[in-house]
Amino acid sequence: LTVVKVGGAVVEDDAQLSQLLRDFSAIEGRKVLVHGGGRRATQTAARLGIESKMIDGRRITDRDMLEVVTMVYGGLVNKNIVARLQASGINAIGLTGADMNIIRSRKRPLKDGIDFGFVGDVEKADGKALMRLIETDVTPVVAPLTHDGQGCILNTNADTMASETAKALAAFYDVTLIYSFEKPGVMADPDDNDSLIPVITRESFAKLKADGTVSGGMLPKIENALAAVEAGVSRVIITKATAIDGRHGTLIV
């Protein structure tokens, strides 16, 4: 089984998204797609007169922003991807973590005095429910929203959603997890497209982090990738959205 996570910049770019969905459709066997959509949420919020507040690249999700991300991730982005997959013959079904209780989370407590608002830290992913669905020959398309079991939707990092989904499915399948985004993989020099780092281990990650080679959104992405490997996901790759065949990019071991 292959889990593909589609990064925010790719969701925004119609040409890149089209190619990614074509390549995703061509992947043999069972598969799951997990998407982000932060940039689209920022645009929609702006049109509604709601300001996006970020701290270190992480969104503060107040009550108004929770409504926006629920609409944008769970509706606009998710259903457009589902419709486009249907057009290429993939019987997709759009889900949030609340659907079938697939991913339950807990509202993040204050961190260093910062209140991130309605943001969920994953507590439990139900691989069995997903597996049963997948075995009916449908392809889940998962939006980065979870629920707390008490009726509240929570905004959840899409890289974490992908990692938790892959980990939960690893109990039933041989799982490959592919993080796709706009660069060829993890780069030694982010401005040099020929500087791909072919393999990252927990040890080498510590060095790349300490010397500043890896920063920003790539830090939690690699953390999530390593967590997936450590929890039994067979192969984890960070690669370009136009190269999701499992033979390119940075292998996380």
Phi, psi of 117 (to 5 degrees): 80, -135
Chain positions 15 to 34 lying near ligand ADP, rule: CB under 6 A, are none
Contact of 177 with 225, CB cutoff 8 Å = yes
The minimum distance between CB 129 and ligand ADP, in angstroms, equals 26
The verdict on 218 binding ligand ADP (CB under 6 A) reads yes
Which of these, 235, 203, 205, 233, lies nearest to 218 by C-alpha position? Answer: 205
Chain positions 147 to 206 lying near ligand ADP, rule: CB under 6 A, are 181, 183, 186-187, 190
The minimum distance between CB 163 and ligand ADP, in angstroms, equals 12
The residue sitting closest to ligand ADP, measured at its beta carbon, is: 217
The verdict on 9 binding ligand ADP (CB under 6 A) reads yes
Q: Provide the pairing of β-strand 2-6 with 31-35.
A: parallel
The verdict on 36 binding ligand ADP (CB under 6 A) reads yes
Q: Could you give the residue ranges of the DSSP H alpha helices within 103-157? A: 127-134
**Using the rule CB under 6 A, which residue among 35, 40, 221, 240 binds ligand ADP?**
221
Contact of 250 with 236, CB cutoff 8 Å = no
- Tell me the β-bridge partners of 6: 35, 180
- Our CB check for ligand ADP shows the closer of 16 and 105 to be 16
Which of these, 230, 235, 93, 102, lies nearest to 173 by C-alpha position? Answer: 235
The verdict on 76 binding ligand ADP (CB under 6 A) reads no
d(CA 244, CA 225): 16
Stretch that binds ligand ADP, among 25-33, 126-134, 168-176, 215-223 (CB under 6 A): 215-223
Which of these, 133, 168, 180, lies nearest to 27 by C-alpha position? Answer: 180
x/- map, 91-130, ligand ADP, by CB under 6 A: ----------------------------------------
Which residues in this chain contact ligand ADP in the complex, by CB under 6 A? Answer: 7-9, 36, 181, 183, 186-187, 190, 213-218, 221
